[in-house]
Amino acid sequence: MNTSADYRSRYPQVIPVPAFVGVAEKSRWQTQVSGLARVDLEKATAILRSRLSSDHFDSRPKSNGSSRQAAVLIPIFDFQGSMGIVLTKRSTKLSRHAGEISFPGGGVEPGETFFQAAIREAQEEVGLEPSDVERIGLLGSLQTIRHSESFLAYVGKIPRSSQLSESEEVEKVIKVSLRDLIDLDRHHSEVWSSPEFGSRTMHFFELETDLVWGATASLLSDLLDVLAGGESKGGIDGNSEF
């Protein structure tokens, strides 16, 4: 079985070394892989609409927030009869999260809602037309530890025909299918513990040449849990992740 220690030598993403690594319990989706393999975009959309919150599209950052406020978009689309998800590989020249695999998104500008920021950043980063995005719901919120950043994650459906491209911030646009994400041979989870942040489950998803980990991997696992029948964590108060 692969571990985070193996990944440090196999992938370009920089993974910190925690004080303690333990065994993680299986996520809900890991026990329902066969059912998830039959979920196409239409079914996924119906499930997500019924389980994700639609109350936070107009939410704005708190004026007294101590962390950087940001938002990301999780674009889903039809991918060869399965649900597809758009990810990005950030440029290695960036000062924050350089070379990491993430969702399109970024900081909220003055006067913007979180969702408006996610849409604007998606257009800037991968050329996604705002009119192409169909609102689905809020998956949840997270707060990063290393960069003191809190953000909301929205799911939006986009046409398969959407023209996406790289930019100064994005080195590569990555399209991955639900069927590939639920391949248990390409996923690993473990519990990290440290005096700084306590204990939490860390997820890792292997792509062909890169590794999804940290907050992005946590959101992917949460999304898969919802598709497997679990409840959304939703709301504005989220977990803390890297």
pLDDT digits (tens, 9 = 90+) for 30-39: 999 999 999 9
* 242: confidence class by pLDDT, cuts 50, 70, 90: very low
pLDDT of 93 above 90: no
Give pLDDT, residue 49.
Answer: 97
Quote the CA–CA distance of 86 and 164 in Å, as a whole number: 9
160-to-41, 93, 108, 124, 181 alpha-carbon distances in Å? 11, 30, 27, 19, 19
pLDDT of 212 above 60: yes
* 198: confidence class by pLDDT, cuts 50, 70, 90: confident
Phi, psi (deg, nearest 5) at residue 221:
-65, -40
Residue pair 116/154 in contact by the 8 Å Cβ criterion:
no
At the top level of CATH, which class does the domain 4-60+73-230 belong to? alpha beta
Instruction: Compute CA 196 distance to the chain's CA centroid, rounded to the nearest angstrom.
Output: 23
* Domain range summary for the chain, segments of one domain joined by +: 4-60+73-230
